[in-house]
Amino acid sequence: MTRRALLPAAIVLGGLGITVALAAAVQMTFSDTFTLVAYSAGGAAIAGLLAAGLLARLRRSSVVVQVLVAALAPVLAVGIAVTAAAQAMFISRHDLDVLFVVLAAAGTVAVLEALLLGRRVARAGRSVGAMARRMGDARSATESRPDSASTRYSRSPMEFALLAAELEATSARLTEAQEQAAALERSRRELVAWVSHDLRTPLAGIRAMVEALEDGVVADPDTVARYHRTMRQEADRLAGLVDDLFELSRIEAGALGLDLERVALDELVSDAVAGASIAAGAKGVDLRGAVTEPSPLVELSTPEMTRVVRNLLDNAIRHTPSGGTIRIEAGIDETGASAVVSVLDACGGIPEGDLDHVFDLAYRGDAARTPGDGGAGLGLAVARGLVEAHHGEISVRNEGVGCRFTVRLPLSDASRMTT
């Protein structure tokens, strides 16, 4: 038997038990008991069928009308059963008249009660309908309190109160989703605008230099060589920007396939330092690396994590003035649960209000977007996406005359055993 059928079955069995007990108490014969039960059940069935048919015709009417019909159905059932019992000589004519008076009075009171209760249910229904119409409206969601559904509908029927609470929670989720979508759309528009700027400026420079070379405006060998070097540098910068955009698209689409392997952290750091040393030397920046012994082992994808460290170093080199020092350090944190790679630069610090936005898409940290100085604002966003894909964390804080970027990665089992 299903759960839905348990309550009706319990009501039937309980009613039969009470009926049999009362009949035994007044010493009624089985035949008379059976006859009265049949009259009563028949009357209730007739009244129920009439009410069901009437409710079917009034299914699009107000809740109040339907509650009135439902309230009058039991009164009608009793009236039919009593009339049938009187016809079978179980009730005298006088008693029947008295019962009709009682039923008329009880029916009147039942109609009034049904009217009041129906209006209450109708009000709760209209309130829930109004909430459904407001669903997703940011202004109404911000005006509503977290406990408004429980307090506003505390006197409503339980089903309406639960429905109202679910609707309010759904409205809050929709509003949050709308805000996130709006934020993503703003970020996308800013990214398109900034990337367009970063693409247009070097392309315009390359085009101007190519035209100068084609027209013979520049013929001096040293100047021609300088033009070629500049065009190569601009092309490399454009290639890096395209690589960052491609990496971001993979991260956002969840299509980043990581080929994890156990890697010693000192190898990762030494490769990144070797790759960035030329750029650091060209700018006159001292780049130093240090890894604690023994070197931690980390489960990671070498190309992606090398890109993370290289992006942090490129960012540090870009913002560290000539003569400054950049330190990259690696080891195990104080808890012994994570491997840590940190890059400390001499950029002069980041405003406290901007620290939470450093890893945002297209963040640059300054209002002047001079090509080649601030970068495209994608490197740190790519680094965060790759670190999070490794189930790690990346953070930044001001320290000394610069900033310390810290990457935390889960240790492999072998490193945990040695700590």
Q: What is the pLDDT of residue 17?
A: 81
Q: What is the pLDDT of residue 138?
A: 47
Q: How far apart are the C-alpha atoms of 179 and 177, rounded to whole Å? A: 5
User: What pTM, to 2 d.p., does this model score?
Assistant: 0.52
Find where tokens 């649960």 sit.
337
| Low-confidence residues of the chain: pLDDT under 70 | 1-4, 7, 63-64, 88-96, 98-100, 102-103, 105-164, 187, 190-191, 194, 197-198, 254-255, 361-377, 412-419
Burial of 83 (0-12, 13-18, 19+ CB in 10 A): middle
Q: What is the pLDDT of residue 374?
A: 46
Q: Is the bond preceding residue 157 a cis peptide, omega within 30 degrees?
A: no
Distance of CA 179 to the CA centre of its chain: 11
Structure tokens that stand for 16 in this block = 């039969």
Which residues make Cβ contacts (< 8 Å) with residue 412, sequence separation at least 6?
A: 262, 297, 298, 299
Structure confidence by residue, pLDDT tens digits, 328-356: 988 888 877 789 999 999 988 888 888 88
Which residues make Cβ contacts (< 8 Å) with residue 248, sequence separation at least 6?
A: 361, 378, 381, 382, 385
Q: How far apart are the C-alpha atoms of 172 and 184, rounded to whole Å? A: 18
Structure tokens that stand for 269 in this block = 């750091």
Q: What is the pLDDT of residue 321?
A: 92
Q: How far apart are the C-alpha atoms of 379 and 311, rounded to whole Å? A: 6
Cα dihedral sign, 169-170-172-173? positive
The ranges assigned to domains in the chain are 3-133, 259-418
Four-way CATH pick for 259-418: 3.20.20.60, 3.40.50.300, 3.30.565.10, 3.40.50.2020: 3.30.565.10
